[in-house]
Every structure is written in structure tokens, then in C-alpha cells.
Amino acid sequence: MAIGKKLWIIILIKLFILFFILRLFFFPDFLKSKFSNDKDRGDYVREQLIRRK
Amino acid sequence: MILNIDPGIVDWSRAQFALTAIYHWLFVPLTLGLSFLVAIMETIYVKTGNPEWKRITKFWMTLFGINFAIGIATGIILEFEFGTNWSNYSWFVGDIFGAPLAIEGIMAFFLESTFIAVMFFGWNKVSKKFHLASSWLTAIGANLSALWILVANAWMQYPVGMKFNPETARMEMQNFWDVLFSPVAVHKFLHTISSGYVTAAIFILGISAWFLLKKRENGIALKSILVAAIFGLITSLFLAFTGDGSGYTVAQTQPMKLAAMEGLYKGQNANGLVLFGIPQPGKKAGDGKNNFILKVEIPGLLSLMGYRNVDAFVPGIEDILYGGYKPEFLNVPHVEKEKALPVSEKITRGKIAITAFGNFKNAKKAGDEVAATKADSAMKANFAYFGYGYLQSPEEAVPNVALTFYSFRIMVAFGFYFILFFIIVLYFYSKNKLQDKRWLQYVMLWTIPVVYLAGQAGWIVAEVGRQPWVIQDLLPTRAAVSMIETTSVQITFWLFAVLFTALLIAELMIMTRQIKLGPKDGGTK
């Protein structure tokens, strides 16, 4: 197999694993998945920062 | 009610970030340096018209392509981790971190992606000069991408150009140029990219030496060696120069990191630089034990390098923990101009800032503007110590001294070895004896893993040395981490370990095969 083709296959498999497996199933955006707007996200982080001292 | 954070989640999140960054940094330096070396070689081809230089360029360009293809997007995982594992941090930094990363994305997309396509697929399809320009623009694009990532990292080490908004709980950028041109950002960028240039030069020397050992492609190997050795010597000298600048900015902005790099517990005037030493295992601040089993130091050199004054006082770990000395750093809070505060006092002030931060919002909610203004003033007066409010004890402000100390010495020792190495290679090249020196050819080959070790050691110094801070003095890891299950981070840690190891094995196998095929088949198919 030509080197170029081999590299394209590696790139596509890697991007599939990164974006369609890891990102979707293992790396949700924590704040976006829990809260629907920035105000709630800000309030949550504020609470966390205050209560962790 | 105070939230207790499972130390496991902090440790596993840190381990995962370190694993990702370490693997990512295996690919990046070669991309940064090899892109320029390929562009230089192609320039020689275009200038001379000698087809051998075209074969040389195509061969190294193929290896560059393999490294680029396998390494690309490994850094994006770090951004995933910010959103999942470090959500408090991601929110807290606001657009300070997002802006440089967004610019990086645009630069990487437009410059690298566009011109790398021309570089690989444009031979015989575009003019020689346009192809050459694409190679240079690919190199410039790769390095500009690194600039924005390193600016973001530098801001975490030395946060400037921003203001904290207690209403949104986020940092807001006040001055983009302060962020871009902070001394830490400038030195970090120059030092990091020059380490990439040295890595690529050594990579070319090592592979070329392999050809000499196999008695294959001598002409191409020697031509590559000449270009790489000159490039390597110039950039390794520049690396030492920027290393000195980085050391100076560490002394000025992160004195605890400098103390850890030197294993220095009790500071003094005209402080020496430890050339070689074995730190006392188990040594703790204030235990009265000697900090070294043995050491060899150069008198006054640490003061000279850190403060540009051979008699300057360099604070040690105990000085910083217990305060009382006169700090001479950049941006010292007004209250410490004459006498540094002990960390215990900084913790108290940090807790005042955090409490005021909570009171501000409560007062705003209740519509009590007087109380809100009072809380805001209390927070602003103590904000420089905000992060200290999360520390459980002053000793938590001390990073891993032994790891930082040894990593620093590995990095510096190899850095000077590289200068000597390039000089020796050029000396034997000029005497036309390189082909006969098999010992030197082996040294050249085995210097490849050494340069990677030195690069990783450099990152350990930068990142372990700044612990416990995610943002220097403002946010420690335990406040920055998300409240997620430790087991989920453990699972993804091992997933990444497997994925990255597979990628590394793929890189080594494909690269080795391509090198064995040699320049004849090295054309970009």
C-alpha cells in the first residue's frame, strides 16, 4: 500500500475514534451537558469555587 | 458547607493531562523543526536546480508527512479534557484561554492545511516557486499554531492583561497585547520552538548517520548532515540563549518553581547554581535536614541568572513559605513590596477573597448595593491571593522538588551536550572524516532518543514545577477540577494510553519502513 494511502487511513480512523467515540461517549462538555445557559453554568462554578475553599 | 474533593479525581485528571501532553509533545517538535529544514532544503534545490536536492527534500518531506499525519489532532484531546475534567478552570478563564486557541485553530486551518496540501500533492502541478512558498508557509503556519498554544500556557504561568468579573465568575481580557507579549509568553514560545528545531536537526543527523552506517546513500546523507548540523548548531545556541531568558522569567514570576528547580530551601545573597547534586530524599521544608547529600555549585550564578545581579538574594522554599524577605519580582502585590508574606497569611487572604466573592453575589441578589461594593472591594484587595484560599496547608504550595530538580538538570545538561554534538559533527564533516567515524555515527543515531528525553524533561520542569497551580496563585488543581467520577477518568486514561501507544507504534513502524526504503522511494506518492 502506498504511504499516502496508509496515512490517510490512519488519519481517518484516528479522527473517527477521537470525535465519534471519545468525544461523544467519554468527553461530554461537563457544564454544557448539565446546564442549558451561561447563567446557570456561572452560578454552578461560583458555588463550586466558594464551597471548595 | 465546604465541599471535600476526592484527591483521586485531581490526581487522575492530572495524570491524564500529563499523559496526553507527553504523547502530543512526541509529535510536535519534529513537525516544528522538520518543516523549516525541508523548506531550507527545497530552497537549495530551487536555487541550484540540482535534482539530488529534490530527492533529499522529498525524502525528508515524506518523514515529515508521516509524523504530521500521525500526530495531527492529538492535541485536540487536551481541549476535550478541559471541558470534561477541568470545567471550573475552563469557565474561570473565560475568553483569555479561548481567544488564543481560536486564533490557533484558524491559523492551523488556513495556513497549515492549505499549504501542506500543495506541499505534498503539488510537485509538478504548481510552479517551483509556488511550491517552495507553500513549504515555507507550512513551516510558518505550524510555528504560529505553536505560538498561540504557548501564549495560552504562558498566561496560566503568569496571568496578566485580564480582570476578574465576580458577576460572571470569569476572567475578562483587558489587554490582548499584555497577554501576547508577556515576558513569559515570549520566552516560552522562543525556547519551545527552538527545542523543536534542535529535535528535527538531531533527527536528520541520526537518520543520515544510519545511512552512513549501512553504507547507503552517502551523498544524500552527507548533504543532509551539513544542512541539519548548521541549523542545529545555530538553533541549539539560540536554545541556550532562550533558556537563560526563560530561567530569568521563572525567577521573576514563579520563585517557588525556581527554588524547586534548584532544590533550594534556604535562600541567600550571591546564591550559587547547582551544577550537579543529589537532593536529600524525604526532605521537607522546615525539618532542619540538609537539602543535599552532595552538590557541586557555581557561586553566585543563580543570583546572576535569576536577577541579573551576582549579589541578589534568591528566596528558597522556606523563605517563600515563611515570608519575611524583600521580594524583587515582577508585579509584586503592593502589600509585599517591602516584605514577602508567609503562605499562611496568603491562605488567610485567599479565603477572605473567596468569601467576599460569595458575599458579592448574595448582596447583588438581595439588591444591597452597599454590601456588594464592600464585598467587591474586599475581593479586589485580596484577589492576588485568591487561589491560596484553597490550600489546606502552606506546604501544599511546594511542588515535587526532586522531580523538578532532576528534570531541570537533564534538560540543561543535554542542551549543552547538543551544542557540543553539533560542533563535533561539523568538525569531522569539515575534515571529510565523518564517513569513517563509526563511533560518531552511532552517537548521532542514539542522540535521537536523547533529544526527546530532554524535551520531555523541559515540560516536566515547566508543568510539575508550577504545581499546585493551574493558574499561578489564582487557581490550584483542586479548585479547577470537575466533580466527576474518578472511575470515568481512570477509564479514559487507559483508553488514551492504548490509543496513543498504538499511534506511536504506527509512527515508528511506518517511519522505520520508509527510512529503510530510502530516498529512492521517498517521493510523495
ipTM: 0.90
Helix residue spans in B217-342 (DSSP H)? 218-253, 255-262, 301-307, 317-322
Shortest CB distance from A3 goes to which of B84, B506, B525? B525
Phi, psi of B214 (to 5 degrees): -85, 0
Cα maximum dimension of chain B: 84
Average pLDDT over residues B355-359: 95
Q: Which chain B residue has the Cα nearest residue A39?
A: B168
> In this predicted model, what pLDDT tens digit does every residue of B363-389 receive, in sequence order?
998 999 999 999 999 999 999 999 999
Is residue B85's pLDDT more than 90? yes
Residue B141 lies in a domain: yes
Average pLDDT over residues B141-160: 92
B40: closest CA among B60, B65, B66, B26? B60
Residue with cell 454552578: A44
pLDDT of residue B458: 97
Q: Which chain A residue has the Cα nearest residue B167?
A: A42
pLDDT of residue B2: 63
Average pLDDT over residues B43-68: 95
pLDDT of residue B256: 97
pLDDT of residue B328: 82
What residues contact residue B1 under an 8 Å CB cut-off, 6+ apart? A51
- Pairs across A and B, CB distance < 8 A: 109
Shortest CB distance from A49 goes to which of B169, B503, B506? B169
> In this predicted model, what pLDDT tens digit does every residue of A1-53 receive, in sequence order?
678 888 888 888 888 888 888 888 888 899 999 999 999 999 999 999 998 87
CA distance A4 to chain B (A): 6
pLDDT of residue B292: 94
**CA B215, B49, B131, B231: dihedral to nearest 10 degrees?**
50
Which of the pair, B427 or B99, is modelled with greater confidence?
A: B427
| Residue B522 binned pLDDT confidence (cut-offs 50, 70, 90) | very low
Shortest CB distance from B3 goes to which of A26, A38, A51? A51
The reply to whether B499 touches chain A by the CB within 8 Å rule is: yes
B360-398 burial, b if ≥16 CB within 10 A, otherwise e?
Answer: bbebbeeeeeeebeebbebbebbbbbbbbbbbeebebbb
- Give residue B191's Cα distance to chain centre: 8
CA distance B515 to chain A (A): 12
Contact A48 B483 (CB under 8 A): yes
Shortest CB distance from A2 goes to which of B84, B92, B525? B525
> In this predicted model, what pLDDT tens digit does every residue of B206-251 receive, in sequence order?
999 999 999 999 999 999 999 999 999 999 999 999 999 999 999 9
Tell me the β-bridge partners of B296: B276
- Structural domain including A14 reads 3-51
- Structural domain including B293 reads 263-336
> In this predicted model, what pLDDT tens digit does every residue of B450-489 receive, in sequence order?
999 999 999 999 999 999 999 999 999 999 999 999 999 9
> In this predicted model, what pLDDT tens digit does every residue of B252-295 receive, in sequence order?
999 999 999 999 999 999 999 999 999 999 899 989 899 999 99
Which of the pair, B126 or B111, is modelled with greater confidence?
A: B126
Q: Which chain B residue has the Cα nearest residue A15?
A: B73
Residue B378 lies in a domain: no
Average pLDDT over residues B173-198: 95
> Does residue B170 sit in the same domain as residue B38?
yes
pLDDT of residue B523: 43
In angstroms, rounded to a whole number, what is the distance separating the alpha carbons of residues B262 and B264?
5
| Residue B73 binned pLDDT confidence (cut-offs 50, 70, 90) | confident
> Does residue B39 sit in the same domain as residue B177?
yes
- Long-range contacts at B336-340 (CB < 8 A, ≥ 24 apart): B340/B315
Beta B273-279 vs B469-471: how paired, if at all? Answer: unpaired
| Residue B113 binned pLDDT confidence (cut-offs 50, 70, 90) | confident
In angstroms, rounded to a whole number, what is the distance separating the alpha carbons of residues B148 and B157?
14
CA distance B2 to chain A (A): 5
Q: How far apart are the first and last CA of chain A?
A: 58
What residues contact residue A46 under an 8 Å CB cut-off, 6+ apart? B169, B357, B358, B361
pLDDT of residue A25: 86
Q: Are B143 and B65 in contact (CB under 8 A)?
A: no
> Does residue B161 sit in the same domain as residue B284?
no
A53: closest CA among B359, B15, B14? B359
Is residue B431's pLDDT more than 50? yes
Cis peptide before B279, with omega less than 30 degrees from 0?
no
B516: closest CA among A21, A3, A16, A51? A3
pLDDT of residue B520: 67
Compute how many other C-beta atoms are within 10 angstroms of the C-beta atom of residue B510: 20
Tell me the β-bridge partners of B469: B476
Shortest CB distance from B514 goes to which of A3, A14, A17? A3
Number of domains chain B contains: 2
Average pLDDT over residues B77-89: 92
In angstroms, rounded to a whole number, what is the distance separating the alpha carbons of residues B427 and B85?
51
The CA distances from residue B19 to B12, B150, B267, B441, in Å, are: 10, 18, 34, 32
Burial category of B439 from C-beta neighbours within 10 Å (exposed 0-12, middle 13-18, buried 19 and up): exposed
In angstroms, rounded to a whole number, what is the distance separating the alpha carbons of residues B485 and B472?
26
| Residue B332 binned pLDDT confidence (cut-offs 50, 70, 90) | confident
- The per-residue pLDDT of chain B, averaged, comes to 92
Contact B87 A53 (CB under 8 A): no
Q: Which chain A residue has the Cα nearest residue B504?
A: A10
CA distance B357 to chain A (A): 8
pLDDT of residue B524: 41
In angstroms, rounded to a whole number, what is the distance separating the alpha carbons of residues B55 and B43?
13
Is residue B101's pLDDT more than 80? no
pLDDT of residue B525: 39
- What cell numbers appear for B479 in the block? 479548585
Is residue B1's pLDDT more than 80? no
In angstroms, rounded to a whole number, what is the distance separating the alpha carbons of residues B407 and B418?
16
> Does residue B34 sit in the same domain as residue B177?
yes
pLDDT of residue B236: 98
> Does residue B171 sit in the same domain as residue B49?
yes
Tell me the β-bridge partners of B313: B269
Last residue of a domain, one of B336, B352, B385: B336
CA distance B88 to chain A (A): 6
Average pLDDT over residues B129-136: 95
> Does residue B52 sit in the same domain as residue B176?
yes
In angstroms, rounded to a whole number, what is the distance separating the alpha carbons of residues B505 and B418?
26
| Residue B180 binned pLDDT confidence (cut-offs 50, 70, 90) | very high
Length of chain B: 525
What residues contact residue B146 under an 8 Å CB cut-off, 6+ apart? B28, B32, B189, B192, B193, B196
Average pLDDT over residues B22-29: 93
A34: closest CA among A21, A19, A48? A48
Q: Which helix (H) or strand (E) holds B276?
A: strand B273-279
Helix residue spans in B299-342 (DSSP H)? 301-307, 317-322
In angstroms, rounded to a whole number, what is the distance separating the alpha carbons of residues B18 and B84?
15
Which of the pair, B182 or B330, is modelled with greater confidence?
A: B182
Contact A53 B84 (CB under 8 A): no
Contact B390 A18 (CB under 8 A): no
Q: Which chain B residue has the Cα nearest residue A41?
A: B91
DSSP state of B471: E
Beta B268-269 vs B273-279: how paired, if at all? Answer: unpaired
Tell me the β-bridge partners of B274: B297
| Residue B103 binned pLDDT confidence (cut-offs 50, 70, 90) | confident
Average pLDDT over residues B419-444: 96
The reply to whether B93 touches chain A by the CB within 8 Å rule is: no
In angstroms, rounded to a whole number, what is the distance separating the alpha carbons of residues B338 and B267?
17
Contact B73 A18 (CB under 8 A): yes
| Residue B109 binned pLDDT confidence (cut-offs 50, 70, 90) | low
Tell me the β-bridge partners of A1: none
